A and B are shown apart, each in its own frame.
Chain A
Amino acid sequence: EILMTQSPATLSVSPGERATLSCRASRRIPINLAWYQQKPGQAPRLLIYDISTRATGVPARFSGSGSGTDFTLTISSLQSEDFAVYYCQQYADWPPWTFGQGTKVEVK
């Protein structure tokens, strides 16, 4: 089972600033890495898959990068609607499909 570790647990950012979220896998992942956004009381939403491909309707300010075991989700200029919890997830070695523990992006 591939374990996913996200850092930091909480990220405090001012609106308009850049946010950089990290995700590390316990084993190498070729391309099979996704990111999800979850707002309070809502279901998760797919943002990014295959490390860097934005899902339908996802704004260009969201970008994914990385390779091997280390991956990054960048939000270039935080909007008010972007304050949420973000999860990374691997689908390289399955089952199980595994998620990180989440990073909460909060208003600084």
Chain B
Amino acid sequence: EVQLVESGGGLVKPGGSLRLSCAASGFSFRDYPLSWVRQAPGKGLEWVASIIGTSSSIYYADSVKGRFTISRDNARYSIYLQMDSLRPEDTAVYYCARGKGAVGATIGIFDSWGQGTLVTVSS
């Protein structure tokens, strides 16, 4: 069974930093791309960042480019999201999601999701 478990969320002041983690199990981790998708309170889904299995291709939403960094450790079956220069509008539940295909458009078919971790940016 595919499992994705996020951690690292919490309350942080504007301008601060936070590092999210996603621990995976139940599948051949290095063969799949993984992404972060966020959901602000009471709002819809917003794709944030994606990384393919080899880490050779990484993609970011314009809203986080230059502030967030996605990475993965295939030996630890984990991905990370380093979030710097946080803003109140970054407040959201952050989901880790697996891509259905290894490369290309199917990176963005999200076939398994974690339960999410809440990040609150407030003074």
Contact = CB atoms under 8 A, between A and B. Distances in A.
A98 B48 CA distance: 10
Given A95-B60, A98-B47, A102-B44, A43 B95 contact: yes
A98 B110 CA distance: 12
A62 interface: no
B91 interface: no
Interface stretch (B16-24, B82-90, B101-109): B101-109
B50 A95 contact: yes
B46 interface: yes
A43 B61 contact: no
A87 B47 contact: no
Contact of A43 (B50, B59, B114): B114
B80 interface: no
A46 B47 CA distance: 15
Given A43-B95, A44-B113, A94-B59, A101 B47 contact: no
Interface residues of A, number: 24
Given A34-B109, A94-B108, A96-B47, A44 B60 contact: no
Interface in A37-94: 38, 42-46, 49, 55, 87, 89, 91-92, 94
Given A43-B113, A44-B45, A46-B109, A96 B61 contact: yes
Interface in B8-41: 35, 37
Interface residues of B, number: 25
Contacts of B59: 94-96
A99 B40 CA distance: 14
Nearest to A91: B108
A97 B108 contact: yes
A15 interface: no
Question: Which of A32, A38, A91, A92 gathers most chain B CB within 10 Å?
Answer: A91
Given A44-B95, A96-B62, A91 B105 contact: yes
A49 B109 contact: yes
Interface of A: 32, 34, 36, 38, 42-46, 49, 55, 87, 89, 91-92, 94-102
